[in-house]
Structure 1
């Protein structure tokens, strides 16, 4: 299993040790994952096929849903199948791949939420110039720019990790591969690496959250000049976005902006943003958005309407 100075296979401790509890988790989380894929997939298809959802807001929403499916699929399928396994193993290369894609899609979501906040800011604060500012070209540039930035972020995380020597224990105290639990297995002091991860991941989450917070303060300030109906519509759209932001950023900042620990709470917090939040996002966006609900009904209810 472990060579002279190189661990090739890792064992994951999982979320809970009790087999009965694990089976209950399997029954609970499998429908949640399926709902995540179906719900977000439905949004992607609806926005792609519907003629009425052509504004930049829906372009970003469909991208966000696509990222949610990818992000969830990086962790959840293995996590669910592991719930039925006595020994949960993953190869070192598989572990590094999981870390790369987990950070890649996770930070893509963060940047997309920032871009969506900018879209709302322009729509509410500069409505007359909205279509000129939020051109199709700018939307594509923003999405492409976020992919490039995220790729660099994820590569940095992997480069930090592959330099570490792994020669001893091979049990990762988590249900998926993440940097801080993996660092605990290195045969060297990883305090510098831990700080760099906190700076790389934590600061991205914190800075993005502060940008989002500022944009919504500006939006609320500008809404004073709108009519009651305009205010209601703008607040309804923004409320769904703010809810998604809080659900995603709260746990991420909690985990990455402090020193690592081995608390079970950390794993439970991680379950929230890897399993639960990706399922909630399509529900939040469609329930609060009349146009999406109408488009879904037209496309999937009555094909002829």
Structure 2
């Protein structure tokens, strides 16, 4: 159930950014920074199709023309570029030099700057965390950035510190249970091949929190959580766009596969696809869908 403490529909332009997060697919969802150049070079182009879950979104205020916005995990800047015309300035940060180079080349302007920064350590750049941003946004990146338990809360503290008083943090990320079927199948495949269970679990490159965890974490560092909700978002995989389920497993499951000898990896891909066939295949048309869950939130620095 959504966690909603107030009617925030009149609280300014952050609702418009939230609307973009609800309808925009991030091209690097779930991909480690080191893997993103593979997508950028077109070696395996992932196009995920999903049903329109919000066909009639409410009329929402636009971002304010005076807004200074920080985009955490900006990737190649395509998402960031969507709202640049409506605001004063945006800074996108990402740990991938290749993605930042692409962002500056394609979307850099006097109003849009992109900078290499490990988002697990925002405090390493005083210009980021000095409390000068009206809004901080993050789209489909936090489930990677928050993966390390040791830096999880300090990263959120860095986001809090970057905001002006009354500034707003708006995000969408993978939520608890996201692609759980694939994670389970990959972990089991590794265990079958002699990888200890705890080691196989530790390879998981993502952190998918629940509504309760994220709410408590944000409130614990001084945010007022205004909205927190989980959405089931079944996502179709197509043979034409990405090689279907096998292509998804090869790319998104690369951290699991890379612990095995190269000669064993395709066997794991085949096994995972066979194990998941019944769970992900729709009998009416043979299409295959993964169980995406999206966690969205709006929190205010008070």
Q: TM-score per shorter chain, which class?
A: under 0.3
Relative to total residues, which structure has the larger strand share, 1 or 2?
2
Relative to total residues, which structure has the larger helix share, 1 or 2?
1
TM-score by length of 1: 0.24
- Tell which structure's C-alpha radius of gyration is larger: 1
Structure number with higher relative contact order (C-alpha < 8 Å, ≥ 6 residues apart): 1
TM-score by length of 2: 0.24
